Structure 1
Amino acid sequence: MQHKTHTVIGSPVGPLTLVATDGIVSGLYMHEHLHMPPRETFGRRDEGAFDDAVTQLEAYFAGERTDFTVLVAMAGTPFQRRVWDALREIPYGETITYGQLADRIGRPTAARAVGLANGKNPISIIVPCHRVVGADGALTGYAGGLATKRHLLALEAGVDSRRTNGDRGSASY
């Protein structure tokens, strides 16, 4: 039987609920998250079980981390897992369209299905579904809300622009 635990942390985009299954991050949900499982399935609250994930998220929001190394366990269909794996390949500070993501997984006519899988991503931010935009570059649906998607993309663009402007040292935020 699987052992689940969770914690809730504060962030610049509001409370984030982290869920672990057998000690591995299996969910990261925003306060008003579409497709969030019922909270009673998250297991007991355990503040200490997420130290590495919390440290990495804090560094991300401070502009000090551009990728995540925390282990994740994503439950979904084989197609969903292919989409979610491809999300992790989108470079920090960049966006791609649903069609481009469909091309990357070898399913060029499946942009709509890719969008549905993207929306069901159970580990937001760490698995960066916010980096996928509409064909015209418009911000389209995001499980955590468009304001959150806009914030995450602006954070990444701001950090990225500081790095490309010659500031290679550590920055204060």
Structure 2
Amino acid sequence: MTMGKAYEELGEVKVENEKLRVDLKSEAELCQNLKKILNELHLNAAANDKMRVERDEKNQKWEQESRGLVLALDEANENNVDLEQIFNVLRAENKGLKVHLSVSQNKCSMAEKKAKNPKELKDTDLFAKVDEGRWKVEDQLKWKKEEFKHLEEAHDKLREKFEISKNEWE
């Protein structure tokens, strides 16, 4: 082998060596980039896991709140039904008292007519009793009306709360 050939081969080896160095350098850079990407993926996975846990906690909290709202709505509905029943009972009682008052007033007016008639002065005691009964009925009616008014107000407030709860639920 001649020196020229040896130099030529040495030159080829140097060129090949330089190519390998460039390849090695690019492979090392690629490896570093892949490590960075892998680290970013690990960080993203950890962040994703953290967000998933937070989401699950929020979902659980919302489900509990929803259950609480459903219970409150059911309770408000039950109260509303109870108040409507009371309202209907009081309305019927009020009608009965009005009828009773009307009858008492008729009896009272008849008693007044009889009292004006001189023949029937002996019925004064009856007139007094009827008048006293009328006053009692009127007094009862007054209290029942006031009680009815308070129940209507309570019913309106509960209906309002129910509508607010219903709107919040929706």
When normalised by structure 2's length, the TM-score is 0.20
Q: Kindly indicate which of the two structures has a greater share of residues assigned to helix.
A: 2
For the pair shown, the structure with the greater C-alpha radius of gyration is 2
TM-score (norm 1): 0.20
* Larger RCO of the pair (alpha carbons < 8 Å, separation 6+): 2
